Structure 1
């Protein structure tokens, strides 16, 4: 059985993120979105596409800029298209990737967690350049793992920067200080707030700076005069101007530099893909002090499973304690607990044949089962004890109890299973989360009931005498 944290949400909508080279103007980014928007709208199953280019100054979004656009895609008739959403998403992915040039495109589904992607591989190291090189090699290896889609590296080409290196000796000969040059450039490029204008109780800055048309290129900056005298002194005569690529970002986790490889998982479960990635990363050549760590949903997966396993064991213990006080015996509650593993036999087969992965919802269903499936065995064992107290032999009491309690046991199970059928057949929003729990409870209760009618009488025949005074 596969393992995942929460079944992916398929609600007839998804998002696509387009990222262009750092430094791309907002107008150029908007122009690039037009071809992808037309491709998305051309698909017969797409109802609408909304595009957001850049971000607002007041927004709290940290991952955004003039070179980033987001597409929100809504499909027609979500009740019908959710069943074929994976196929639609793959068709659109192939079409937009074929039309892409330098754009980086990634898809994502609605998520219940703060992290958007299922996979997050963290690479730790101290050298930023080496981190990028190792990260690129690891990215190529991860892309080859089956089930991995939309893999990307957090380190991307940085924004272009102008490095102005002043000739201090030449400036000293002309009586100009580096501070004057810096202040002049700031005034020309950024401007100074000369005054403020009051309007409707709001103060608006009035900024004075050089006309943008006069500083439209690096060449215009080279010709900029650094003095106000009658003889202009161009910046290029007292400084060396070089265009370089600055770092896109520097991330730290626990005071260590890190780069992150993120990816989505498709057509496979998260647990199997994570294991394949861990095996593939062992072949990546890296310095000795560099190491990989799996984060994102995979880390939450392991944490949640450990917590739920403890909760399941605790639930079984509490059920046993309650029955021990009721039967005033330590052996007979153990006989009743035989129905619990019988329930999970049916759960495993049901999950396998319905192609359902283990998830948090399956574990929650299992915890619920721990308190439900013992009811039938309690009814059966309690009635056997009553018949034996009346003087009936053990074998006759078992046969009589099985005959009398058969109908109540079947009716109790049938009403519970029928009540869960709507949850199992539901196709609305959130049905992906509810269905695994319904399958778990229905299958576990059904198998436990059928096997209890055969196994519990045999176990009682073998060990039941030890629990009687």
Structure 2
């Protein structure tokens, strides 16, 4: 995995791998030594006495196990499922169908709330608004913000507070940006909704938008629509059409376009023919206007260790367009007004112009109001398909939608690779191509509990949830492996005694492995419970979805492993056993003459236990 998913969870995968290898080493070395030291049996008088004590201990443990409530509840269920395999399989298929039906109900999100206790509020006033008016309007918004419970600090930036290249991307004097720091214990989503409602009821000047703080983990929190056009007119038309179509998208908080950021300027268009007739050119006109509007720089003067700029004149302060049109330009024939050789108009121009591959581009941003990014993306796609764009204009969806799709696709491929690797390892271990497939049946049923618990807890499906699904592949297969391995051991001859039949091996194996499987599952569930309850602090946006998925998947897969896997094993291995018995009986001289009796005998031997 690469990009966000790889960078975020590669350390997690390495940590889990190292921990598992370490626990394997401890279980094979230290645990046996500790068991030898602390679990010593009484010293027997002879070998026969040792065997008698061991057999008595086994019998006592066997009787106590059979009388336990756990066995009395599980064995009847196992017997009925073995007796009615078709009903069991049909029920399992219905469970899978229910899982597929629940999937569309899941909310999807990339990472959800990343735990940031901050938000950004933007106030956009009409183009040409003075800095004083912008500051006064920002003060109104600030007073509203400071009166909301849960907000600790508010930092306001009005106008252009940057210099150099950053000033070129500033939105001018008509905009204000508020960086709001909130209480880290507050519900950030509810607090954002409260801020939106309070600002809307306060009738704050201009357009006010509220969003989560950007940055961190390289993710985006909005659905972006990138529009490309050959000229500015088509770009403006398409941007307005898309923004209008996106207004009111279910689950969205606000819609914004970067073409909204504009500033009012005085535009002078020189008529070349009239300028030449007056004895001027465009450069001369521009130079006269520059010296009239602004002081003329004349170098610097150093006094002691400080350099001071030197400017000639004070510039001219204009109060109206007519004053600009009346500027006198020196010509050989005498001064002439600017309006005689040029048109002077006040126009709104974009603060910045973005181009991509030689085409003008704009971005329409849809900010989700909740944690269901998938539903917002789907609604945006549907509405975008119905927008009539000018000829030659294209619109593509990006932002968080693209990041989520790429991450989900990578994790889906990783999930398939994990299943394939597990299958290859189990084929080598069991020396069978069929039995590993029986074990892998537990994997899809893990999704049943995972999806159900996600719906119950209201946790969206995102990157952490899919990582939990990836973990479940190894966890749930482990339970099935220990069950099938013991069943296979019971079927093998041991110490001169013949192996058990398939039915007997399943009964004894499932009974013996019931307690270890449940203990392993419960230990994992209880260990992840604090994470699922969100008690892990700021990292809960990753740990909680992961824990919820693992707990839900482990519960459902464990229950189905103890019931469905034995049924499938009997269907596959029971058929093989029946064929082997029929072949052995037909080779006996006393039975070969009566094939029907051989088949009847084989059927009796392979029937379900009483």
Answer whether TM exceeds 0.5 for this pair: yes
* Cα distance in 2 between the residues matched to 1:397 and 1:382: 11
Report the counterpart of residue 135 of structure 1 in structure 2: 239
Report the counterpart of residue 369 of structure 2 in structure 1: 266
Deviates more, 1:365-374 or 1:140-149: 140-149
Per-residue deviation, residues 178-232 of structure 1 (Å, max 9, x unmatched):
4333222223334443222447877x46141432564565454445443499x86
Q: Is the 8 A contact 1:270 1:298 kept in 2?
A: yes
Q: Is the 8 A contact 1:191 1:207 kept in 2?
A: no
SS at match of 1:308: helix
Report the counterpart of residue 73 of structure 1 in structure 2: 180
Residues 312, 254 of structure 1: CA spacing in aligned structure 2 closer, same or farther, 3 A cutoff?
A: farther
* Cα distance in 2 between the residues matched to 1:228 and 1:208: 25
Q: Is the 8 A contact 2:261 2:350 kept in 1?
A: yes
Per-residue deviation, residues 388-436 of structure 1 (Å, max 9, x unmatched):
1132222222111122222211111111111111211225223122211
Deviates more, 1:177-186 or 1:454-463: 177-186
Residues 467, 15 of structure 1: CA spacing in aligned structure 2 closer, same or farther, 3 A cutoff?
A: farther
Report the counterpart of residue 148 of structure 1 in structure 2: 252
The alignment of Structure 1 onto Structure 2 pairs a total of residues equal to 464
| Structure of higher CA gyration radius | 2
Residues 199, 444 of structure 1: CA spacing in aligned structure 2 closer, same or farther, 3 A cutoff?
A: farther
* Cα distance in 2 between the residues matched to 1:155 and 1:91: 28
Q: Structure 1 length as normaliser, TM-score?
A: 0.89
Residues 97, 197 of structure 1: CA spacing in aligned structure 2 closer, same or farther, 3 A cutoff?
A: farther
Residues 100, 212 of structure 1: CA spacing in aligned structure 2 closer, same or farther, 3 A cutoff?
A: farther
Q: Is the 8 A contact 2:223 2:367 kept in 1?
A: yes
Pairing 1:220-369 to 2, within 5 Å after superposition:
220-227=323-330, 234-236=337-339, 239-267=342-370, 269-369=372-472
Report the counterpart of residue 124 of structure 1 in structure 2: 228
Residues 418, 157 of structure 1: CA spacing in aligned structure 2 closer, same or farther, 3 A cutoff?
A: closer
Decide which structure has greater helix share: 2
Q: Quick check: 1:21 aligned with 2:126?
A: yes
Residues 113, 337 of structure 1: CA spacing in aligned structure 2 closer, same or farther, 3 A cutoff?
A: same
Q: Gapped runs of 5+ residues in structure 1?
A: none
SS at match of 1:193: strand
Shift of 1:288: 4.4
RMSD between aligned alpha carbons? 3.0
Q: Quick check: 1:179 aligned with 2:283?
A: yes
* Cα distance in 1 between the residues matched to 2:304 and 2:480: 77
Deviates more, 1:170-179 or 1:278-287: 170-179
From 86, 89, 92, the equivalent of 2:192 is 89
Per-residue deviation, residues 47-84 of structure 1 (Å, max 9, x unmatched):
221212233215758454333322122334x22x22xx
Q: Structure 2 length as normaliser, TM-score?
A: 0.69
Q: Quick check: 1:7 aligned with 2:112?
A: yes
